[in-house]
Amino acid sequence: MNYDILLFDADNTLFDFTACEARAFARTMRDFDIELKDGMTQTYSRYNDRCWKELERGELTKGELVVKRYALFLDHYGVDCDPVKVNAVYERNLSETAILFPGAEEMLERLCRKARIYVITNGLTQVQLGRFSRTRLGNYIEKIFISEQMGCKKPDALFFERATREIPGFSKERALVIGDSLTSDIQGANNYGLECVWYNPSGERAPGGLHITATVKNFTELEAFLKEGEG
């Protein structure tokens, strides 16, 4: 393997965030006695995605994001609830929801024998630590770097600089970022000068203007790429 350090994104790379989100959202609606109608989950997800993109662009703070996403959703459906309270319950529910992509744990178990594995995420501290604690991924991961704790976020180069300072013997030439988001993972790797793999199970076309070392659709392709160069 050409890489000693693997920096994995969490959501939609290791965790099936779409499934996690849908389960936690439905539970939250029940907690507030809000009737779950067709399309509600998708509507919330669109507002959530929009707010996270605004965060990445520096247009929102994390505190503003978590309130705005539910303020937009509740207003959309004319529901009279406090978005701060709804979000707090949702975060608790999401922190208790850990749905991994099939094969993620087995892949990390194999890879940790050849490289040190770290997680880099823009997620919320309470949510990410809660979810990871409900898996066995801690057996294979050295450390989780969470933007809320780091004081900066992907794709900022500062996030990567602060994270890699805490990785013993770190070398840019021997490190690889693996993630699904072009705007945070891949752009962040580019900003800090790291090689990167775009985890792209839907087979989207790669955009111009970004350096992408490799694109993979599944964990089998990722492991095949990592084996290249082995003696």
CA distance 16 to 30: 22
Same domain, 207 and 116: yes
Can 11 be counted among the known catalytic residues? Answer: yes
Q: What is the pTM of this model?
A: 0.91
Same domain, 207 and 141: yes
Q: Read off the pLDDT of residues 137-193 as tens digits, 9 standing for 90 and up.
A: 999 999 999 999 999 999 999 999 999 999 999 999 999 999 999 999 999 999 999
Q: List CB contacts of 60: < 8 A, sequence separation 6 or more.
A: 51, 54, 68
Q: List CB contacts of 173: < 8 A, sequence separation 6 or more.
A: none
CA distance 138 to 134: 10
Same domain, 161 and 145: yes
Q: Beta strands 195-199 and 116-121: pairing type?
A: unpaired
Determine the structural domain holding residue 154 and report its residue range: 5-16+100-227
CA distance 67 to 196: 32
Last residue of a domain, one of 50, 78, 95: 95
Q: What is the DSSP string of 123-177?
A: S-HHHHHHHHHTSSGGGTEEEEEEHHHHTS-TT-HHHHHHHHHTSTT--GGGEEE
Cβ proximity of 153 and 56 under 8 Å: yes
Cβ proximity of 86 and 31 under 8 Å: no
Same domain, 46 and 74: yes
Same domain, 60 and 78: yes
Same domain, 125 and 189: yes
Same domain, 147 and 190: yes
**Predicted local confidence at residue 119, as pLDDT:** 98
Annotated catalytic residue, options 9, 16, 180, 185: 9
Same domain, 88 and 74: yes
CA distance 19 to 153: 24
Same domain, 22 and 128: no
Question: In the predicted model, is pLDDT for residue 228 greater than 90?
Answer: no
* % of the chain surpassing 70 pLDDT: 99
Same domain, 112 and 202: yes
Q: Beta strands 141-146 and 195-199: pairing type?
A: unpaired
Burial-class residue 63 by CB neighbours within 10 Å (0-12, 13-18, 19+).
exposed
Last residue of a domain, one of 48, 64, 95: 95
Same domain, 47 and 145: no
Same domain, 147 and 80: no
CATH number, domain of 29, equals 1.10.150.240
Split at pLDDT 50, 70, 90, the class of 229 is low
Q: Read off the pLDDT of residues 123-144 as tens digits, 9 standing for 90 and up.
A: 889 999 999 999 999 999 999 9
Last residue of a domain, one of 68, 95, 122: 95
Q: Beta partners for 6?
A: 117, 176
Q: Residue 121, SS3?
A: strand
- Count: domains in the chain: 2
